[in-house]
Amino acid sequence: MALVAAVALAFNFLLGYGIPGVVAALVLSLGLAFFSYFNSDKVALRISRARPADGPEFARFHNLVEGLCIAGGLPKPRLYVVDDPAPNAFATGRNPKHAALAVTTGLLERMNRVELEGVVAHELSHIKNYDMLVSTVAVVAVGAVVLLSDIGLRMTLFGGGRRSGNDNGGGGGNGITALIGLFALSFIVLAPLFATLMNRAVSRRREFLADASGVQLTRYPPGLVSALEKLRDDPTVVRTAGRATAQLWIESPLDREEGHKGSRLNRMFDTHPPLAERIRVLKEM
C-alpha cells in the first residue's frame, strides 16, 4: 500500500493535479481493493470454470474435508470441482466463513486418501491463515500500480499534463522541478516491476507456511510429500488457469516450458517456490 501511495504521488507530480489528483488515485485503489475483497472468490471460481462438487461421486472429497475442518476448528468451505485432467487445487475467499475450495478432477483421480488429505490440509491452511486476504490485497495493489503507471505514462508522454504548462517561467526552480520530474517518471516506469516482485515474494512465503500448517493439521508429512512428488512428476497443466489466478493453486498451473529454468532471476518472478525445495523442507520436519 505504501508503494501504491508513492506511485500516486509520482503520478500527481507529473500531471500536476494537486491534492484532488492524489485523493482520486487513492480512492480508485481502495475501490478496487473493496471490490476484490468481496468478490475475489466469485471471480476466481468463474475464471477457473469451477462447478459445485455435488453428487455421490464426490462423497470421499466431502468426508475428508469435513474431518479436517473438525480437526482444525474451521467451518466447512464450499466445495467445487474443475473438470481438468491436470492434478491441482486452490482455495479462495475473504475469510474462513466465506471460503471456497476447488480441486481438479485429475487430482481426485490420481491421489490416494493420504495424498488428497495432504493437499486439502494445505488449502485449508491457506484459509485458516487468511492467505486469500493477503493475496487479494497484493494482487489489487499490483493492479493499481500498473493502472496508475500506465495512465501516468500515457498522459505524460502524449498529453504533457498540467505541470508542463505550469513550469515555463524559467529560473533555477525549473531545474530542480525537472530533476524531480525525471525521478518521478523513472519511478512510475519501474513501479510495476517492484510491485510484481513484492507480490511474488509474498506468494512464495505463504506457500511454505501453508505446507507447514497443513502438516501440522494432518500430523503426517509423508502424505503431502507424496502428493507434491506426484505434482512434480506430472507434466500436465490446468487449461483454465492464467497468470491472474496462478498464485492461488497449490502449484503453479502455468506451462512448465515458459522459461522458469531455475536461475535466481527467473525464480524471483515465480508465484511458487520450487516443488523440490518444498519437498526437501517437508522431509526435514
| Band of residue 264 on the pLDDT scale cut at 50, 70, 90 | low
Among 221, 285, 256, 284, which Cα is nearest to 272's? 256
Selected residue with higher pLDDT from 130 and 198: 130
Q: What is the pLDDT of residue 173?
A: 56
| Band of residue 213 on the pLDDT scale cut at 50, 70, 90 | very high
Residue 260 is classified by DSSP as -
Question: Which residues share a beta bridge with 64?
Answer: none
Length of the chain: 285
Q: Which segment of 137-151, 189-203, 230-244, 260-274 scores lowest on mean pLDDT?
A: 260-274
Phi, psi of 139 (to 5 degrees): -65, -45
Query: Would you list the DSSP string of 119-138?
Result: HHHHHHHHHHTTHHHHHHHH
Structure confidence by residue, pLDDT tens digits, 225-244 = 999 999 999 988 888 776 66
Q: Please answer whether residues 171 and 236 qualify as being in contact, where contact means their C-beta atoms are separated by less than 8 angstroms.
A: no
Q: Please answer whether residues 202 and 135 qualify as being in contact, where contact means their C-beta atoms are separated by less than 8 angstroms.
A: yes
Selected residue with higher pLDDT from 254 and 282: 282
What one-letter code names the amino acid at 132? M
What are the domain boundaries of the chain?
A: 1-161+173-285
Is the overall model pTM greater than 0.85, yes or no? no
Selected residue with higher pLDDT from 241 and 257: 241
Among 144, 180, 210, 129, which Cα is nearest to 1's? 144
Q: Is the pLDDT of residue 12 over 80?
A: no
Q: Which segment of 11-20, 95-104, 218-227 scores lowest on mean pLDDT?
A: 11-20
Q: Catalytic amino acids?
A: 123
Q: Is the pLDDT of residue 150 over 80?
A: no
Structure confidence by residue, pLDDT tens digits, 68-103 = 999 999 999 999 999 999 999 999 888 899 999 999
Q: Is the pLDDT of residue 111 over 80?
A: yes
| Band of residue 260 on the pLDDT scale cut at 50, 70, 90 | very low
Q: What is the pLDDT of residue 30?
A: 74
Q: Where are the alpha helices (DSSP H) in the chain?
A: 2-15, 18-47, 59-72, 105-110, 113-128, 131-154, 161-166, 172-218, 221-233, 264-267, 275-283
Q: Please answer whether residues 180 and 38 qualify as being in contact, where contact means their C-beta atoms are separated by less than 8 angstroms.
A: no
